[in-house]
Structure 1
């Protein structure tokens, strides 16, 4: 326990110190007339959150002295590319119709802007670390049914309303003047004069609460009502499943124990039936034990990663618009917990009497990282082809490779060595016979795929309501901050997964099918497949995403996330089933 706690403390300190995003004026205190940092970040189609471009990829006015802000590691992973904006918002200085620039837009530039307006491009800026959004233009569809008759307009006048409290900026809002526009409908050169207005207003809101307004949306009574309905729905599922499992344990198993005890007293040569009949095979090691141990190790690591992320979220590290903190946490904690994967996989592999522990360690290191790396290579190539900000710079890729080489791999090897040296014999309450018994012919619904479908449906039904809000936050523009509710849902997911896996394992053993090892892992992890199925529903029914890049990013990275859930919940399901199987066979007399 000491090692994980040390890792957690180190991670918390690292994230608090390194990943908090601050402006150049790190104290956030200004005097009248001081320059407050304003950075333009990116533009992109509103409905395609992954497809973002640099702000100046569109022919906006460039500032006289263009300055690129050096982003933190997590910001780069988040696709942020900040440059100094063409607007000047000095502290407490009002401005009225200040001209940014006058420029003649060429036919090519008109076409660029028209395409952007057609795709509902939005812009994102940061003023003293406060986000600013707005659309760059509008489409006039009124009274026109034919898209060829639509008219396209570019906004050229922006109003900034800035609230301050003494010497600090509290809030900033930007709105576009719908009457000050440039007509982009025709392919011809047009003159554009870009202007802005700044109005300062005093407020009593303290600086410490200036980010609260961004988290209020997910805390509104309507949304809280839905969140709590989700939890009640999940709790009912848990109670029903717990009652169902309690019935099995208290009645069916009790009857089994009485029956087997009576059989032992009445006739020693009486033929055994049910799960006792296969006591000599139930602890026979599974096929492909190296892969099984690697999956268990990777799943345990991802479970640890998830728990640490929740702890950081509950500590308030991931407050709204702490740009890149989550990505930094994921990379750092995954690297630091790789030793857990190595130790778990190798120690279990040695318990299963495996001999080639080095190959098992390599398999553990590649089982999750391998598919993730291949997916990243493909998607990064797509982003490069689109010239999107999602394409990671070469320097960031080098940093990731160095983290994997200097932190992840050494800790994985050290964990593997520790697991090999601390190996113990597998604790089996029954002796395993030399030759396996033949598994009887079972009906189709007792085969692996139907069992996985049943095992995955119940946990998924307990979390599907909450999934929409998570997807709307990750793949949209909503802000999710109710981490306490999400943590409760996560606990419920673990409980339901463990319970349903135990129940199905009992039914499998009662049918005298002793190959439960892989089945329990697959049944536990099958919820990940249901979540990926929900991705299809969300994309086609609940979102307006489109385009090859967005489709690739959505389904590519969601495949990796769902695969991670499969490994994590599979490990939880197997651990629960193993405890159950050991318990019931320890409770009877087996010869």
Structure 2
């Protein structure tokens, strides 16, 4: 077909967490056409793709085509409310997101050092303050000089780049779509795209008209391959070069630290094991010290073993989900071109991974000597997912109250609950059934009477050890974290999943080694309470993540308004909880493997 359809997505802003549907701003809209279907990930992210009245015929340029005219009378309360909402959108720098052939329509402009930056969105308009200072996009035009006025971008020049496909029946492929927003007053309706820029005085009263127009041009470009048509957007993203350098720098530091930790562990343990295995006489045995002394207590069930096993079950579920999702993202299945694919993949995987969660929680709970298996499996299925869902539901109520497009429809909420109750919960019960059938056999017997723990030095006390344990893992991820937070809150595209997967592996290694090292120090100090401590040591990385997210909010973001602030911290709490379970589980299983290994290698009488 030679007709090119332009779709419109939600509008968002870096100054507000609340996205809005295209129709919320009373732009020219297409009522008759059916909306394209959206996947689960798009609905969860609040994407609302709709057809638009902007339709073009391939290779048929159009100059100043009128789309519609919106008329507002400030004496009419309904019109005044629409106009006020439009002014609020311009004040907060809300951005259009248009789509042609599944590509974002980009606004490319020059920045410092002769670089070109291509933004996958363009503003509704901009504001010039009472002092005459232009804000946001108003700085691009020196004619925007009316004080206390809103300038409306009511005209767009669209350029579509294509190349002809030879030896195929496809004809031509679109490889880029660029836009330049403009403002025209159109004093004479017979000749649109004339006059100075269109502005609305802040205290305007009476009737106000906004005519919307567009021009379209087609340019053949044989240099851009269809497979790499997104590259020009990704290459112009800010900080890309910094990201490459920072990740490599982080990788070198973390590998060096990991090597040091591994070397200390191997050398120290090798000496200890060799010394203990050479002890044959009773006199030697009486001179035992360090971790060998607590062999009769090291597998003693921890306090609150039920809660720990439930956390570990949920953490296992999150760990496998993250690993598989990032692996698929590395292969290119979940790129920005596949809208919502990342979130859809993560949710579906989480639902299907109920079995490992139930199995791990049940098996560990049985090894802790627990007998309330029904309570255990119910908590595994409902506690952590329930906390996340409750937080998410409250955030959804706020979005719904604000009329945001990110508010999830009731039907989608019911669908998510159905996935949880009808698939995830039964799978958790199946996993728990197999987990309870088989416990864990420990390499050493547990004494009936607990050994008294001697007075601990400062660094082997629980709290300092836990606080120290989270520093190294956080140090290896905080640079990557900055770019992830940018992609979520500053609406920048995140596409470097290969590096993210690498950082994920580094995080797993660092959490494991830091926790093992501290666990060894505690066992040498004759403190055998390692289970909760190992979980909290690496889990404390989530506390550093939370502190960094708070710092990011106050130092990097321009978010204003109570609702946006509550939403930011509400969603951050969900991320922190998931990260806490994920890192805590890594630390626990690393220590579990380590403790089991050393007490099975050493001859214990």
The counterpart of 1:531, out of the listed 529, 545, 563, is 545
Q: Give 1:454 shift.
A: 0.6
Tell me the residue number matched to 2:84: 111
Aligned partners of 1:266, 1:84: CA distance in 2, in Å?
85
Contact 1:46 1:122 in 2 (8 A): no
SS at match of 1:191: strand
Tell me the residue number matched to 1:174: 179
Tell me the residue number matched to 1:77: 44
Q: Deviations over 1:174-226 (max 9, x none)?
A: 211145543212322222222111111112233333233333346x9x62453
The counterpart of 1:156, out of the listed 154, 157, 161, is 154
SS at match of 2:247: helix
The counterpart of 1:210, out of the listed 229, 242, 245, is 229
Contact 2:66 2:212 in 1 (8 A): yes
Q: Tell me the TM-score normalized by structure 2.
A: 0.86
Contact 1:78 1:323 in 2 (8 A): no
Contact 2:327 2:501 in 1 (8 A): no
- CA distance change for structure 1 residues 256 and 416 in 2, over 3 Å: closer, same or farther? same
- CA distance change for structure 1 residues 293 and 161 in 2, over 3 Å: closer, same or farther? same
Contact 1:281 1:514 in 2 (8 A): yes
Tell me the residue number matched to 2:495: 481
Aligned partners of 1:64, 1:531: CA distance in 2, in Å?
45
Q: Tell me the TM-score normalized by structure 1.
A: 0.88
Task: State the aligned residue count.
Answer: 553
SS at match of 1:196: strand
Aligned partners of 1:413, 1:378: CA distance in 2, in Å?
28
- CA distance change for structure 1 residues 383 and 142 in 2, over 3 Å: closer, same or farther? closer
Tell me the residue number matched to 1:37: 5
| Range that drifts further, 190-199 or 81-90 | 81-90
Contact 1:289 1:349 in 2 (8 A): yes
**Are positions 1:99 and 2:97 aligned together?**
no
Contact 1:521 1:573 in 2 (8 A): yes
Q: Give 1:332 shift.
A: 0.6
**Are positions 1:193 and 2:198 aligned together?**
no
Tell me the residue number matched to 2:109: none
The counterpart of 1:356, out of the listed 360, 365, 372, is 372
Tell me the residue number matched to 2:450: 436
Contact 1:305 1:337 in 2 (8 A): yes
Tell me the residue number matched to 2:15: 47
Contact 2:474 2:545 in 1 (8 A): yes
For 1:259-274, list aligned pairs within 5 A.
259-261=275-277, 264-265=280-281, 267=283, 270=286, 272-274=288-290
Tell me the residue number matched to 2:534: 520
Contact 2:329 2:497 in 1 (8 A): yes
The counterpart of 1:140, out of the listed 112, 128, 139, is 128
Q: Deviations over 1:310-332 (max 9, x none)?
A: 11101211222321111111111
Contact 2:538 2:584 in 1 (8 A): yes
Q: Give 1:60 shift.
A: 1.7
Tell me the residue number matched to 2:521: 507
Q: Give 1:586 shift.
A: 2.5
Tell me the residue number matched to 2:341: 325
Q: Deviations over 1:145-164 (max 9, x none)?
A: 69995321112211111112
Q: Give 1:436 shift.
A: 0.4
For 1:218-367, list aligned pairs within 5 A.
223-224=240-241, 226-250=243-267, 252-257=268-273, 259-261=275-277, 264-265=280-281, 267=283, 270=286, 272-367=288-383
Aligned partners of 2:422, 2:338: CA distance in 1, in Å?
27
Aligned partners of 1:509, 1:64: CA distance in 2, in Å?
70
- CA distance change for structure 1 residues 308 and 146 in 2, over 3 Å: closer, same or farther? closer
Contact 1:298 1:367 in 2 (8 A): no
| Range that drifts further, 443-452 or 563-572 | 443-452
Q: Deviations over 1:500-521 (max 9, x none)?
A: 1001001111111111111011
| Range that drifts further, 259-268 or 537-546 | 259-268
Q: Give 1:405 shift.
A: 2.1
Q: Give 1:558 shift.
A: 2.0
For 1:359-438, list aligned pairs within 5 A.
359-421=375-437, 423-424=438-439, 426-438=440-452
Contact 1:131 1:321 in 2 (8 A): no
Unaligned runs of 5+ in 1: 1-29
Contact 1:100 1:195 in 2 (8 A): yes
SS at match of 1:323: coil
Tell me the residue number matched to 2:28: 61
Contact 2:128 2:134 in 1 (8 A): no
Contact 1:274 1:509 in 2 (8 A): yes
Contact 2:183 2:198 in 1 (8 A): no
Q: Give 1:268 shift.
A: 5.8
Tell me the residue number matched to 1:3: none
Tell me the residue number matched to 2:554: 540
Aligned partners of 2:257, 2:40: CA distance in 1, in Å?
46
Q: Deviations over 1:427-447 (max 9, x none)?
A: 322221101012122234333
Tell me the residue number matched to 1:583: 597
Q: Give 1:253 shift.
A: 3.0
- CA distance change for structure 1 residues 63 and 296 in 2, over 3 Å: closer, same or farther? closer
Aligned partners of 2:278, 2:323: CA distance in 1, in Å?
46
Tell me the residue number matched to 1:25: none
Contact 2:8 2:50 in 1 (8 A): yes
Aligned partners of 1:149, 1:192: CA distance in 2, in Å?
19
Q: Deviations over 1:512-556 (max 9, x none)?
A: 111111101111211111111110111111222222332223222
